[in-house]
Amino acid sequence: MAEVLPLGAELQQQQVETATPPRTCLEDVAEDLRRLRRAADAAAATVGARVAALATSPLPVAPLLTPNARYEAIAAQMGLTCAEQLTCGCHVHVAVASDEEGVAVLDRVRPWLPVLTAIATNSPFWNGADTGYAGYRTQAWNRWPGTGPCDPFGSAAAYRAVVAELIATGTVLDEGMVYFDARLSARWPTVEIRVPDVCLDVEDAVLVAALARALVDTAARAWAAGEPAPGDPTSVLRMAAWRASRSGVEDHLVHPRTHRLRPAPEVLACLLDYVRDALRASGDLALVERGLDRVLTRGTGARHQRAVAARAGRLDHVVADAAARTVA
């Protein structure tokens, strides 16, 4: 029997969702991503289309809502925010032993998530123009209610109470619309980290997955050891996320320890030091060291898109290049 590939519809008809199975080996994740991208491209080809791993569309586009009762209810509630929404993120699920451990992780990864945003930036263009941002998807996505960093919760009960309060406002329709930067999955025993753009290259997506797992493992161990969660102000974390979206790894980032602007290589080195023990334990240290060096040297998907646009002088070449690169 032929394998049924996990390709799914999303809010807009111009989006396709892919999902890898649970893995512990990053090489398997890489192969899954390549296989899924090829499968999605083959499916698109049946209607004369291609897939491109882009977090926003470089070309002007009028999104078409996917026919679905829930999506139609979201569109009716959210108006222009939904009508203009066409972005693609990379969501990384990491297993946790319990909701209590999961919330402890959420409380401890908060200051590090903007660094993941910077590493994955792949959305410099929007509606036919250069936005000046490396990751404009973050800006477009944050128009939705329920997005962004959260205050520390302290317990699973407190987390569930906040989610219930958000739903009770009548603003979001259900738990699926509680779009925290990181949240407990409503379906799986995982923490779901939601800040990265979809990456142009599979290698960068694997790097993000490795760092996400290491952050979760590091936070869980700190909680088990009785270390308190850091008290970084949520307002400062919003500034850090904005800066990561603005410049990616090309300029300065807000340092997770000091909250001051520091060169991106220094901030990435700080992240590496923070999760080094977890990476060593999982066997991922060398892969992440190479990946961070690659991102700093070669740049993210945002730099590549801009380089293609500069050479060609046309944004349709950016899309064509991304389509070819997605399945390369």
Side chain identity at 302, as an amino acid letter?
Answer: A
Which residue matches tokens 């066997």? 283
Q: What is the pLDDT of residue 2?
A: 34
Sequence-ordered alpha helix ranges (H) in the chain: 26-45, 69-78, 80-83, 99-109, 113-119, 136-141, 156-168, 202-224, 234-247, 264-282, 285-298, 301-312, 315-326
Say how many CA atoms lie within 13 Å of 311 toward its Cβ.
8
Side chain identity at 36, as an amino acid letter?
Answer: L
Note whether 195 and 181 are within 8 A (CB): yes
Q: What is the pLDDT of residue 7?
A: 87
Query: Going by C-beta distance under 8 Å and a sequence separation of 6 or more, which residues neighbour residue 68?
Result: 9
Q: What is the DSSP letter of 123?
A: B
Domain boundaries, the chain: 7-320
Which conformational region is residue 302 in: left (phi greater than 0), alpha (psi within -120 to 50 degrees), or beta?
A: alpha
Q: What is the pLDDT of residue 258?
A: 98
Which residue matches tokens 């946790």? 96
Distance, CA of 19 to CA of 36 (rounded, Å): 8
Among 311, 327, 300, which residue's Cα sits nearest to residue 115?
300
Which residue matches tokens 């083959």? 42
pTM assigned to the model: 0.96
Greatest alpha-carbon pair distance for the chain in Å reads 56
Distance, CA of 178 to CA of 133 (rounded, Å): 25
Q: What is the pLDDT of residue 65?
A: 98
Note whether 186 and 192 are within 8 A (CB): no
The CA-atom distances, in angstroms, between 207 and each of 116, 203, 279 are 10, 6, 11
> What CATH number matches the domain at 7-320, 3.40.50.300, 3.30.200.20, 2.20.28.90, 3.30.590.20?
3.30.590.20
Side chain identity at 288, as an amino acid letter?
Answer: V
The per-residue pLDDT string of the chain (328 residues; one tens digit each, 9 = 90 and over) reads 234 457 889 999 999 999 999 999 999 999 999 999 999 999 999 999 999 999 999 999 999 999 999 999 999 999 999 999 999 999 999 999 999 999 999 999 999 999 999 999 999 999 999 999 999 999 999 999 999 999 999 999 999 999 999 999 999 999 999 999 999 999 999 999 999 999 999 999 999 999 999 999 999 999 999 999 999 999 999 999 999 999 999 999 999 999 999 999 999 999 999 999 999 999 999 999 999 999 999 999 999 999 999 999 999 999 999 999 999 8
Note whether 223 and 235 are within 8 A (CB): no
Q: What is the pLDDT of residue 4?
A: 42
